[in-house]
Structure 1
Amino acid sequence: MPIPDYQTLMRPLLARLADGSVHALSDLLQELIAEFGLSPEEIKEKLPSGRQTVISNRVGWAKTYLDKAGLLQTPKRAHYQITDRGLKALEECPNEISNQYLRKFEEFQQFTSLHTENESRDHEQVGESDTTPDEQIAAAFQALNRSLADELLDAVRTASATFFEQVVVDLMLAMGYGGSRKEAGQATQATNDDGIDGIIKEDRLGLDTIYLQAKRWQNTVHRPEIDKFIGSLTRNRARKGVFITTSEFSPGAREAVQNLDMKVVLIDGRQLADLMIEHNLGVTRKETYEVKQLDGDYFSEES
């Protein structure tokens, strides 16, 4: 039989988690291969890039979509467990689980929707037939980056405080701040609240300095923490500050940095992950696709 698409794989994958135990993705892959009776040739068939097998890629995306809809959870890397919502989904969908069913969950809608800043009500769904190929490529690219950002943020949150310090320094250097690596490393120091504090050069010449504070937290950062940071900047007569957290900022915290005589930038966990992707920090290139168009100049016969 042909290799099943990722939507066809979603219910069988979830059903194999129905016992409530934690299962390794590698074991689930082998079980699904056996269930669908794939031939040796089908098992070895690879994507056009040649980097991954088709069945492994499709099982991976089935897992990702179930995860984004809250039907399964990840207790540890590459291991999965069904949730109460997942058990209910098996009851409600005796034959198949599709993207159409998953869209009933807000988390999945947020994952697959492309929102614009000015038109939050208008959105395009990944893979919808009424989108152009260019739009589908762009939507798929954003979906891949959102999934990667989630993985990055999980990795940063579970890393040690020392490694988190390295991430912050490496990111500032990648963005063009901090002077030399030696100077940037000396500018930060570990603190007892699971974060770092320091001063870093705005440029290699040190024409200005930036006060930096970073918190490897799970809980939301509220206004009192930002007020303390602003107070520290004021006492040091600083004009610029960056506050980084692996969690998120409350509305009050964001309001605190408005209309100040100084410039204070807040970077939450999502922005941190996006910046790491943008500056190739902690990520590696997986695929490269070239989208080409007609060269009108080449076909111009005007002398």
Structure 2
Amino acid sequence: MSVQKLSSSSVPTFHAMLIPTLVGLKNLGGSGTVQEIYEQVVQILNLPDEILEIPHGKTSTSEVEYRLGWSRTYLRKYGLLENSARGVWSLLSIADDFEHLEPKEIVKVVQKAEKSKVDASDRMIETMEESTEELEWQDQLHGMLLNLEPAAFERLVQRLLRESGFIQVQITGKSGDGGIDGVGIARINGFLSFHVLFQCKRYQGSVTAGQIRDFRGAMQGRTDKGLFVTTGTFTRDAVKEATRDGAPPIDLIDGEQLVQRLKELRLGVKITMIEAVEIDTAWFEKI
């Protein structure tokens, strides 16, 4: 089956992801990050890797992630979810009994509420412009990462780890080292510390479970913790392998998470705040 056919007929609509999103959050104990919600919904809907890898247009975001974002937005506007500034989504008390909810009813109520605030066509244009602006900087940054030389990408990851609190971060990558590119020491609250080996993979594809196993093999006897950073994505089996019971854990950072982390740390990203001036008419009336 071609990617085009898969993208048009096999990717679940955001309507179909509404209830699975609620179920996933319930499974997570009532709250979770975007990534945790994504993993839950993928498992609930049993989505294969070929569906998960379908991109949304020419962006670095997958079609599943894009539609799941709309699902979260509709559930928030319906009053079932809330999200914090730290990117954590949680169920509201009203969502305790959601089994009886109909996705079509949720969509209908939210769209009706939106129409009462602003003309539907204007609102759609505004939303599309906001989404486009958000995607533009993400895609531009992702493209720049892909164009970096391998050594430059390794230096970027080294800087990223240092800015994130790691110490003694060194690039050690050399042939025959099992893909290990560097080592650092992660410190927790200034008291606890542990050695971390990391691997950097700068490409657009998906890291497989086999590559995670190879990395873990190279880690054996040298550390109990690994970090795998890529500009691409991880297959579902790779994610499972990274957290497999009985094996040294490996933390994963994909392209989307890497872009967001660079933004948070202001590494290669400048954020311009727009000043809004509002006249306080009530203040003048008191003169």
Structure 1 residue 245, shift from structure 2 partner? 0.9
- Could you tell me which of 238, 242, 248 is aligned with 1:257? 242
Question: Which residue is 1:213 aligned to?
Answer: 199
Q: Distance in 2 between matches of 1:189 and 1:150?
A: 30
Letter in 1 for 2:203: W
**Any conservation in 2 of the 1:164–1:216 contact (CA below 8 Å)?**
yes
Structure 1 residue 111, shift from structure 2 partner? 6.3
Give the count of matched residue pairs: 186
1:280 aligns with 2:266: yes
Structure 1 residue 237, shift from structure 2 partner? 4.5
Letter in 2 for 1:172: L
- Could you tell me which of 172, 186, 202 is aligned with 1:189? 172
- Could you tell me which of 230, 243, 264 is aligned with 2:228? 243
**Any conservation in 1 of the 2:201–2:231 contact (CA below 8 Å)?**
yes
Question: Which residue is 1:165 aligned to?
Answer: 154
Question: Which residue is 2:183 aligned to?
Answer: 199
Letter in 1 for 2:185: K
**Any conservation in 2 of the 1:111–1:146 contact (CA below 8 Å)?**
no
Question: Which residue is 1:270 aligned to?
Answer: 256
Q: CA RMSD in A?
A: 4.6
SS of 1:214's partner is strand
Structure 1 residue 260, shift from structure 2 partner? 3.1
Q: Distance in 1 between matches of 2:238 and 2:139?
A: 23
Q: Distance in 2 between matches of 1:263 and 1:108?
A: 29
Q: Distance in 2 between matches of 1:243 and 1:113?
A: 25
Q: Distance in 1 between matches of 2:229 and 2:71?
A: 24
Q: Distance in 1 between matches of 2:181 and 2:192?
A: 18
Structure 1 residue 230, shift from structure 2 partner? 2.3
Q: Distance in 1 between matches of 2:262 and 2:73?
A: 25
Structure 1 residue 280, shift from structure 2 partner? 1.0
Letter in 1 for 2:150: A
TM-score normalized by the length of structure 1: 0.48
1:115 aligns with 2:70: yes
Structure 1 residue 156, shift from structure 2 partner? 0.9
User: Judging changes above 3 Å, is the alpha-carbon distance between structure 1 residues 237 and 201 closer, same or farther for their aligned structure 2 residues?
Assistant: closer
Q: Which has the larger radius of gyration?
A: 1
Structure 1 residue 163, shift from structure 2 partner? 1.0
**Any conservation in 1 of the 2:197–2:223 contact (CA below 8 Å)?**
no
TM-score normalized by the length of structure 2: 0.50
Q: Distance in 2 between matches of 1:227 and 1:109?
A: 26
User: Judging changes above 3 Å, is the alpha-carbon distance between structure 1 residues 202 and 141 closer, same or farther for their aligned structure 2 residues?
Assistant: farther
User: Judging changes above 3 Å, is the alpha-carbon distance between structure 1 residues 159 and 146 closer, same or farther for their aligned structure 2 residues?
Assistant: same
User: Judging changes above 3 Å, is the alpha-carbon distance between structure 1 residues 252 and 112 closer, same or farther for their aligned structure 2 residues?
Assistant: closer
Letter in 1 for 2:212: I
Structure 1 residue 279, shift from structure 2 partner? 1.4
Question: Per-residue CA shift, 1:128-184, capped at 9, x if unaligned?
Answer: 845999xx68x86664333211111111111111210111011112222x22xxx32
Question: Which residue is 2:164 aligned to?
Answer: 175
Structure 1 residue 197, shift from structure 2 partner? 1.6
1:289 aligns with 2:274: yes
Question: Which residue is 2:89 aligned to?
Answer: none
**Any conservation in 1 of the 2:155–2:171 contact (CA below 8 Å)?**
no
**Any conservation in 1 of the 2:180–2:197 contact (CA below 8 Å)?**
no
SS of 1:207's partner is strand
Question: Per-residue CA shift, 1:215-251, capped at 9, x if unaligned?
Answer: 112322111000122233343241x221011111111
User: Judging changes above 3 Å, is the alpha-carbon distance between structure 1 residues 220 and 107 closer, same or farther for their aligned structure 2 residues?
Assistant: closer
SS of 1:283's partner is coil
User: Judging changes above 3 Å, is the alpha-carbon distance between structure 1 residues 192 and 160 closer, same or farther for their aligned structure 2 residues?
Assistant: farther
Letter in 2 for 1:246: T
Structure 1 residue 257, shift from structure 2 partner? 1.9
